[in-house]
Structure 1
């Protein structure tokens, strides 16, 4: 069980984050100040942290520098209402591994933590199978109900990401960032086009689609 330290001075927000993370199987500690966060991190090194930029006793960037100084190298998801480009760049340059702008859906935060943990804990499996869909990550091959399906490079990358987060709703912003490596919305139907192509290749007549559109939130891969 991965251990996540949530550093957030707004108690309702901290409780919402902690509740979502626990629902995903993580153990969670919360801290409302930089001093408490530093003490907790040194007492039990977390596997990942969420870190608010604005804390009552310090700036989140200063706390991050101190954590690195004392040997806490766990991945950090910066969480802040300071969302302009310069602020995001400052957070990432200071050592943050990802940056999430408030307000956000707790489910998206949980998925981002999962992605950060996977980077530091590479998974050994080369084959993923969910329902009738099976992919081989090494051979870059896909099958539906045992039949091979030809996927283009970005279609395969998108499918792999969705399958790795099966059952969770992933936002369009996450797809742009994690699949295309865009930290902005290109303003095109890029995701819509790729989702439509995947559905044509994965879906079977009379059966529900494996890729569900969650209105206003994003997409979810379901076992079918």
Structure 2
């Protein structure tokens, strides 16, 4: 899951980003509304976490712009303003939820999980590909009856591959989808994570070519 965090308090944004990344979210950070808008035009996000009071373009105007351009990702607004009218203004601008600073991190992450679950059905909660099963909510992965212990990035790559099935994904696409925009690694990093992922899958009983290399193009899951 990819989150855009829009917060001009650099200390708060750094601590929030660190906490969210520890929970296996991919987090991009913007410190003003216009930069956030440019991010939204380049990258699809699963959730926007934004302050109301922002430089260049405030959170209310940014949320209104999003909705007017048919960007429907859920928005959780953060603000120091605690009046009833402020909350109404935020929700009317298109926000899905509203939290007042200072907030409890556990409550914030519970709100994030609740917003990300919206629109998901029980039928799509667990992803399957042959004998492979992956639950994106519990981070559990099994091949047959064997559980796999994956690193956060291995999990994210496998999740991405399973969501796209036989579609070929380039290393660049994986970098774009999984790593933060402000500090992406090189494509060799993707190769290293894929090598480790393949070893773990094979050790659990999957064929060696369970993740296929399509030379010159990228990777996909084998046909089952």
| TM range, smaller chain | 0.5 to 0.7
In structure 1, what is the equivalent of residue 95 of structure 2?
A: 96
How many residues align? The count is 125
In structure 2, what is the equivalent of residue 43 of structure 1?
A: 42
In 2, Cα distance between the equivalents of 1:64 and 1:4?
15
- 1:17 shift after superposition: 1.5
| SS of residue paired to 2:50 | strand
TM-score, L = length of structure 2:
0.53
In 1, Cα distance between the equivalents of 2:59 and 2:108?
17
In structure 2, what is the equivalent of residue 9 of structure 1?
A: 8
In 2, Cα distance between the equivalents of 1:111 and 1:67?
24
Dislocated runs of 4+, deviation >4 Å: none
Deviations 1:87-124 (A, max 9, x none): 01111111100000000122321111110010132333
In 2, Cα distance between the equivalents of 1:113 and 1:123?
18
- 1:68 shift after superposition: 1.5
Matches within 5 A, 1:173-192: none
- 5+ residue gaps, structure 1, are 127-224
- 1:19 shift after superposition: 1.4
Are the equivalent residues in 2 in contact too, given 1:3–1:27 (CA < 8 A)?
yes
In 2, Cα distance between the equivalents of 1:104 and 1:118?
21
Are the equivalent residues in 2 in contact too, given 1:78–1:99 (CA < 8 A)?
yes
| SS of residue paired to 2:122 | coil
TM-score, L = length of structure 1:
0.53
- 1:18 shift after superposition: 1.0
In structure 1, what is the equivalent of residue 82 of structure 2?
A: 83
In structure 2, what is the equivalent of residue 69 of structure 1?
A: 68
| SS of residue paired to 1:25 | coil
In 1, Cα distance between the equivalents of 2:107 and 2:85?
22
Deviations 1:10-59 (A, max 9, x none): 01111121112112211110100111100111111100011100001122
In 1, Cα distance between the equivalents of 2:49 and 2:124?
27
In structure 1, what is the equivalent of residue 110 of structure 2?
A: 111
In structure 1, what is the equivalent of residue 56 of structure 2?
A: 57
In 1, Cα distance between the equivalents of 2:110 and 2:96?
14
- 5+ residue gaps, structure 2, are 126-224
In structure 1, what is the equivalent of residue 155 of structure 2?
A: none
In structure 1, what is the equivalent of residue 28 of structure 2?
A: 29
- 1:125 shift after superposition: 8.2
Q: Which moved more, 1:16-25 or 1:75-84?
A: 16-25
In structure 2, what is the equivalent of residue 173 of structure 1?
A: none
Deviations 1:40-85 (A, max 9, x none): 1111110001110000112211010111122211000010001111
